[in-house]
Amino acid sequence: MNAAMMIEIYGYIGSVLVVVSMLMSSIIKLRVINILGSVISGSYALIIGSFPLVLMNSCLIIINVYNLYKLLKAEQKYDLVDSEVNDAFIGYFVSHYKDDIQKYFPNFVFENSGINKAYIVCCEGNPSNILLGKDNGNGVLDVILDYSTPVYRDCSAGKYLYAALPSKGVKVLQFAQNSSKEHEDYLTKMGFKKENGVFQKNL
């Protein structure tokens, strides 16, 4: 493989990353991948002497870095809403995100699952997370669904939720439902311990 072909492949990699970034549901991931793609595309344009493309990619890098800085610096303001399981909005939320929920919780069934507790985390009035479970008494909650919408998957909504639940009398969270590896990795990251197939977290 000669140098010219390697440079061409390098340019294609940058273009692919820019396109892939547009497919990200998370704004932070979109910005990060777009910056990486723009750096590669910009350096490729510099190598081949295409200065208009160098200028365009430089502007994209500056714009993305600035907006990423604002996103990371801004403090998300969350609220915890103690809801009713049969609330119309709960049904709408679960139905609206049904396909995405199934990716992470393939065995989740809303109807006749014994759910008697429902909590919604809102960010500036926008629903960002929903927690559905069974209250076992003594502050123990069996979690049936702990789902964050794609835009709020930076763990901040979950951290707020787990910090706020003790005010609702919840002391221990247990998650025994089968979920995806991605969700199990999330539980581990959030401090859950797995014993006998059950993820548990003391709040």
In this predicted structure, what is the pLDDT of residue 75? 66
User: pTM higher than 0.75, yes or no?
Assistant: no
Alpha helix (H) ranges present in the chain? Answer: 3-21, 27-48, 51-73, 88-96, 98-104, 156-164, 181-189
Q: Is 181 helix (H, G, I), strand (E, B) or coil?
A: helix
- The pLDDT tens digits of the residues spanning 134-167 come to 888 888 998 899 998 887 777 788 888 888 999 9
| pLDDT at site 131 | 92
Higher pLDDT, 153 or 193: 193
Question: DSSP label at 169?
Answer: T
Q: HEC states along 78-132?
A: EEEEEECCCCHHHHHHHHHCHHHHHHHCCCCCCCCCCCCEEEEEEECCEEEEEEE
Helix (H, G, I), strand (E, B) or coil at 37: helix
Question: How much of the chain exceeds pLDDT 90, in percent?
Answer: 18
In this prediction, residue 8 carries a pLDDT of: 86
Interval 94-119: pLDDT, tens: 999 999 999 888 888 887 778 889 99
* CATH class of the structural domain 78-202: alpha beta
The predicted structure's pLDDT at residue 74? 60
Q: Is 203 helix (H, G, I), strand (E, B) or coil?
A: coil
Check residue 97 and give its pLDDT: 92
Whole-number pLDDT of residue 30: 86
pLDDT higher at 19 or 4: 19
Domain ranges of the chain: 3-73, 78-202
Query: What's residue 73's pLDDT?
Result: 67
* CA dist., res. 41 & res. 35, Å (int): 10
Kindly list the distances between the CA atom of residue 66 and the CA atoms of 34, 146, 152, 203, in Å, as whole numbers in the listed order.
13, 32, 20, 36
pLDDT, tens digit, 9 for 90 and up, residues 22-62: 888 777 888 889 999 999 999 998 988 888 888 999 999 99
